[in-house]
Amino acid sequence: MKSYTDNIKEISKRLLKEDKVDMVIGYRTGSVPLMHQPFFAQNQEEVDEFVWDSNCGLNLANYITDRTERIGILATGCNSRNIAVHIVEGKIKREQLYIIGIPCKGMVDRHKLSAMADGDITSVEDENNGSITITGQNFSKTVDKAEVLQENCSVCVHRNPVIYDELAAEEVTEQKRDDVDPYARVKEIEALSPEEKWAHFDDLLSDCIRCYACRNACPLCYCPLCFVDESNPQWVGKSIDHTDVRTFHFLRAYHCAGRCTDCGACVRSCPVGINVRDFTKKLEKDCLELFDWEAGLNTEQRPPLDTYRPDDPEEFIK
């Protein structure tokens, strides 16, 4: 995706030169394959470090919470929606931001690619033609990008940014809900019996070490003191008791309901590869079905669990 990178650099340099922003937040090339680093540039040389390809997975909305500078920021579909959520929730002002919209073709899943490789991957080439080539000491393999996309990207229906000041490339064709079913996995779980569901979630969380990387990678989890960290009262114990682990995951998912954009940063960051999207995606589906709501599509409306409407589908609230 050379042209993406070039355009991003050009726009960023212009913004800094014209003193429209104090910094531009993007990514620079990582020191290991599949891992680019969120990075802020304040001058032309730093902008030259910018890169864009399918390894830019961590959500940049994380980096603008409560900042006071004028910020240029790259935003894919999901990132732009998280920026919108931030604006609605008062974590940043729209006027502070110059949003460089990135029509997104999806991020690759490093767990899947590693599992396909015959050894350690030393370099990844994104051909920008729908294929990815991974190379290691004794192998080189070209795979179809669609097969190694992060799961959230492969079912994404908002690839183009929803708010932006300028696009860095032409819009991409959106996937339609008729072509990809974003909730196929949720439906599989919904179809399980209560016992099977319990077993599924038990297994899902069995390796969790409660490092909270999933929470910290999430732009929604900006609370100064997370409920799991509170000591007075202490809601959750701190050792690896299964009840506490579940409590953390269930409650966090609910705190994100109607706000989560399925950016996948949580799953990407988990050191033990837990698919916490099994929780958040279900709540996303519920919000769509019950409230006809998708998070972060505009900068005015507050999320449904935060508002009251007389036509609320739940009886108890009326």
Partner 1 sequence: MKVIRIDKNDWAEGIEKIRKTYSLIGPVKEKFYHIFANLGSGQMPDMEFTNSRISPKYIIYPQSEIILKCSMNAEEEDYKIYREPEDKEYKEKAVLGIRPCDADSLPVVMRNFDTDEYKDPYWLRAFETTTLVGLACDAPCPSCFCTSAGSGPYNHKNLDVMLIDNKDHYLAEIITEKGEKLAEAAGWQDKAEGIADEIAKRKSDAESKIESNVHTDNLAKQPLLDLYEATSIWEKAAFACINCGTCTYVCPTCWCFDIQDEVYGREGFRIRNWDSCMYPLFTLHASAHNPRGTKLARLRQRFMHKLKYYVDKYENGIQCTGCGRCVRLCPVNIDIRRICNMMNSYDPETCTCEATVS
Partner 2 sequence: MENPYIPYPVRIDEIKTETEDKSLKTFKFVFLNPEDEEKFSYRAGQFAELSIPGIGEIPIGIASSPTEKGFVKFTIFKTGKVTSYLHSMKEGDIMGIRGPLGNWYPWETLEGKNVVIIGGGFAFTTLRSSIIYMLDPENRQKFKDIHVIYGARSPGMLLYKDELESWAARDDLNMHITVDSCDDPEWTHHTGFVPTVTEQEGPAGTEDTYAIVCGPPIMIKFTQPVLDKLGYSEDRIIMSLENRMKCGIGMCGRCNIGKEFVCKDGPVFTLQQLNQTPKEY
Instruction: Report the residue number, 184 or 272, with the smaller CB distance to ligand SF4.
Output: 272
**Cα separation values, 124 from 7, 52, 53, 148, 192, Å:** 21, 13, 10, 12, 38
Site for ligand SF4 in 267-296 (CB under 6 A): 269-270, 272, 274, 276
Of 223, 227, 292, 297, the residue nearest 259 (C-alpha): 297
Q: Which stretch binds partner 1 (CB under 8 A): 8-16, 82-90, 203-211, 293-301?
A: 203-211
In whole angstroms, how close is the CB of 290 to partner 1 at the nearest point?
Answer: 32
* Residue 239 in contact with partner 2, rule: CB under 8 A: no
Instruction: Report the residue number, 41 or 208, with the smaller CB distance to ligand SF4.
Output: 208
Instruction: Report the residue number, 187 or 238, with the smaller CB distance to partner 1.
Output: 238
* Residue 231 in contact with partner 2, rule: CB under 8 A: yes
Strand order in the sheet with 139-144: 121-126, 131-136, 139-144
Residue 99 sits at φ, ψ, to 5 deg, of -95, 120
281 HSE (CA, 13 A, CB side): 24
Instruction: Report the residue number, 138 or 232, with the smaller CB distance to ligand FAD.
Output: 232
Binding mask 173-212 for ligand SF4 (x = CB under 6 A): -----------------------------------xxxxx
Tell me how far apart the alpha carbons of residues 162 and 172 are, in angstroms, rounded to a whole number.
13
Positions in the binding site for partner 2 (CB under 8 A): 231-232, 234
Positions in the binding site for ligand SF4 (CB under 6 A): 208-214, 269-270, 272, 274, 276
